[in-house]
Structure 1
C-alpha cells in the first residue's frame, strides 16, 4: 500500500513543475543541445530520440540546481535484482516525471532511477558500491554506486553531483567527468544507434528481462 501511494505521488508531481520545465525546454532548445531530427529520423527510433532529448534536457537542469541524481540506462544485462531494491513504476519516460523524482520533496529522490527501453522502470533503487581502493576521494556515494554497477553490468549510469553540479558518466568500470550536454548527447546517440541495438540488444523488452 505504501509503495503504491509513493508511486502515485511521483506520477502526480510533474504537474507542479510543468512551468519550470517548459522554461528549461525553451532555454535548452536555444542553446542547441537537442538532437537535430533532420538526420536522426532515419537512424534512431522516434522513442529513442525522445528519450535522448529528454535526458539531455533534464540532466543539465538538475545540474544547474545542484540536485543530486542517479539515472541508470539498462542495456543487455537485466537489472531485475536492482529494481527489486526500489519502487517499481513501469511508467512511460517523460522529462517531467524524471525531473520530479529527483526533487527534494519526492519520496524517491535518494535512490537511482532505472530506465528500461522507453520506460522509467523503477526509482529509489540501491546500487552496489564499488570496492576499488584507487577511487578518487573527491567521488561521493553516488559516484561509487554508479561505478560499482558499471563494474558488474553493461549499464550506462548518469550521475549529477549534489555538491558540484557536475554531470558524470559511468560505463564499463570507468567514470567520465565532467560531461557537458553536447558530450552527453553524443554518447547517448552512439549508444542507441540502430546498428548497436540490432547487434547487441541494447533496447530490451519487458519479456527479455523476465
Structure 2
C-alpha cells in the first residue's frame, strides 16, 4: 500500500496519481513530431533485410549510370531528383508515383526527366539495380534552406531526413549537381566526385550487409547443432 494511502492522505494520493498521468500525456504531446518520425522510421526499416547489392560490380554499374545521367542532365540544365533506397523501405513513396520496374540506365533516367513529359515532376526511386517508380511525391524538409534551392532540393533533404536514402539532385536553374544524405545537402559534384562518393557509401553498406549475413548464418548453424 502506498504511503499516502497508509496515512489517509487520499487527496495527496489523487494529486500524485493524476499528475503522473497528465505528465505522460504532456510529454507525448510535446514530443509528438519526434515520436511520429521514430515510429515511421521503425515501421519502414527491414530488420532482416535482403542485401541492397550482391557485389561491387553491380554497384559500379548502377553508380556509373546514375552519374552519367546526372552529368548529361546538368549539361542541359534539366531538373532531376534521383533517390537511392537503402535499408529504410520507400514503398509509401513509390506507390505515390508511376511504377517503372526497369533496369537502371542513363538513357532512361534522362528521358524520364525531359521537360513537359508526364514523369518529369517528382522523384525517381531506385531499388537495387532497378528503377522502381517515377513521378513520386516526396516529403519536403521544414528546414530553412537557401533561396536559390528549389522544391527538388527541399524534397531531397526531406526524404533523407526521414530515411537512410541517398538523393541526387540536378538544378534546372544552374545545372549544379547536389547530393543529400541524412538531411544534409552538399553541392557542386562532377562525374568523378559523384561516382566516388556513391561507390564508397554503397560499398560500405555492402560490407555491413555481408557482415550481418555471416553473423546470422553462424547463429543458425550453431542453433542446428544444439
Pair in the same fold by TM > 0.5:
yes
- Structure 1 or 2, whichever has the larger Rg, is 2
Whole-Å Cα distance in 2 between the matches of residues 147 and 116 of structure 1?
19
- For structure 2, the 5+ residue unaligned runs are 1-53, 214-226
Whole-Å Cα distance in 1 between the matches of residues 83 and 176 of structure 2?
17
1:91 aligns with 2:98: no
Q: Which has the higher helix share?
A: 2
Who is 1:109 aligned against?
120
Q: CA deviation at 1:123?
A: 0.1
Which stretches of structure 1, 4 residues or longer, exceed 2 Å deviation after superposition? 43-47, 196-201
Contact 2:66 2:105 in 1 (8 A): no
1:172 aligns with 2:196: no
- For structure 1, the 5+ residue unaligned runs are 1-42, 202-210
Contact 1:66 1:165 in 2 (8 A): yes
What is the TM-score with the length of structure 2 in the denominator? 0.66
Q: CA deviation at 1:197?
A: 4.1
Contact 2:102 2:130 in 1 (8 A): yes
Who is 1:16 aligned against?
none
Q: CA deviation at 1:200?
A: 7.2
- Residue correspondence of structure 1 range 22-41 to structure 2 within 5 A: none
After TM superposition, the structure 1 stretch with the greater mean CA deviation from structure 2, 60-69 or 189-198, is: 189-198
Who is 1:4 aligned against?
none
From the superposition, tell whether residues 199 and 101 of structure 1 become closer, same or farther in structure 2 (CA, over 3 Å): farther
- Return the match for 2:147 from 100, 115, 137: 137
| Greater relative contact order (CA < 8 Å, ≥ 6 in sequence) | 1
After superposition, the C-alpha distances for 1:142-165 in whole angstroms (9 at most, x for unaligned) are 101111111110000000000000
- Return the match for 1:77 from 88, 91, 102: 88
From the superposition, tell whether residues 168 and 199 of structure 1 become closer, same or farther in structure 2 (CA, over 3 Å): farther
After TM superposition, the structure 1 stretch with the greater mean CA deviation from structure 2, 149-158 or 175-184, is: 175-184
